[in-house]
């Protein structure tokens, strides 16, 4: 999906060209078919080739994936998910990232009042 998001549209050959250790052509084609079946990607035929593109914007896909992850692994708790991310070994937040998080928390507090 990263390649499709970055390129906007791509053929199997384009996808293979963008990978450092590409699989076989048939494996890449099968993966793209699975993405279409799961409705993450779509395709159109351009002569003998299929041209694939994302079905939704990257930020929409990211939010869906994040929501699924929070639901599946953190019992739907954003606080537990954030805690897991912030507690990663070796993870150090910059002062500006901490300020950004603080501002987001304050915004949520204001909305809840």
Cβ neighbors of 91 (< 8 A, separation 6 or more) are 85
pLDDT in tens, 89-102: 777 888 999 899 99
87 and 101 belong to one structural domain: yes
Write out the E strands in 47-86.
Answer: 49-54
41 and 70 belong to one structural domain: no
Q: Read off the pLDDT band of 43 (50, 70, 90).
A: very high
pLDDT at 86: 86
Model's pTM, two decimal places? 0.73
pLDDT in tens, 16-32: 999 999 999 999 999 99
pLDDT in tens, 56-71: 999 999 999 999 999 9
CATH of the domain at 46: 1.10.10.10
Cβ neighbors of 77 (< 8 A, separation 6 or more) are 70
pLDDT at 18: 97
50 and 69 belong to one structural domain: no
């Amino acid at each position: 999906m990263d390649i499709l998001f970055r390129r906007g549209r791509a053929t199997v050959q384009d996808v293979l060209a963008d990978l450092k250790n590409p699989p076989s052509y048939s494996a890449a084609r099968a993966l793209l078919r699975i993405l279409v079946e799961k409705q993450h990607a779509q395709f159109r035929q351009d002569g003998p080739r299929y041209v694939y593109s994302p079905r939704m914007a990257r930020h929409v896909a990211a939010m869906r994936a994040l929501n699924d992850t929070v639901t599946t692994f953190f019992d739907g708790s954003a606080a537990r998910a954030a805690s897991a991310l912030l507690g990663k070994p070796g993870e150090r937040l910059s002062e500006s990232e901490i300020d950004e998080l603080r501002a987001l928390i304050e915004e949520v507090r204001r909305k809840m009042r």
